[in-house]
Amino acid sequence: MISSNDFRTGVTIVVDGQLWQVVDFQHVKPGKGSAFVRTRLRNVMRGNVLEKTFRAGEMLERAIVETREMQYLYGTGDDYCFMDKANYEQVHLGHDLLGDNVDLLKEGMVINVQFHDGRVIAAELPNHIDLEVVETDPGYRGDTATNVQKPAKLETGATITVPLFINPGDRVRIDTRDRKYISRV
């Protein structure tokens, strides 16, 4: 159990039989009446956001979420196989759980997978990954008046925009949260 006074961003709780993660919280002490906690909660399974108010000190069930490091082995269609690095157990995850960054997965990559009551509830890639540029248009001399970008195809098949000086064969660092080029490696 967790008190509403102990809410922090990222805490996972059970409300009405569903898992909710605290996105934002604010303790409010009005001049008249009792204190309360105003929160924004995100449903872990569906992703929708809910604003809910709790009385100060109200006890709620805290969800026990276990995070495991898992290594990507292979993918077939919309099914992706991961191996737990601790006990070598294999888990198959779908495209819907991995999100839009599934095309950035490379064999051998380690990701964090979150479990609740033995079932997978979320999977997240590392914040930064290094991949090789396979195909891109050549940059021309003199095209540097502004911050000009060009599309580049990576070794995993994903396409991102990179600066003009990046050539095929270069390794680039990418931020997986917004799919942006960070630097050349």
Dihedral (Cα; 125, 101, 144, 139), 10-degree rounding:
110
Please name each of the domains of the chain with its CATH number. 2-62 (2.30.30.30), 66-124 (2.40.50.140), 128-184 (2.40.50.140)
> What is d(CA 29, CA 49) in angstroms, rounded to the nearest whole number?
24
Which of these, 24, 22, 25, lies nearest to 44 by C-alpha position? 22
pLDDT tens-digit series, residues 42-99: 988 888 999 999 999 899 999 888 999 999 999 888 889 999 988 999 999 988 788 7
Residue 147 is predicted with a pLDDT of 77
Answer whether residue 146 shows pLDDT above 80: no
pLDDT tens-digit series, residues 117-145: 888 888 888 999 999 999 998 876 666 66
pLDDT tens-digit series, residues 88-111: 999 999 887 887 888 899 999 999
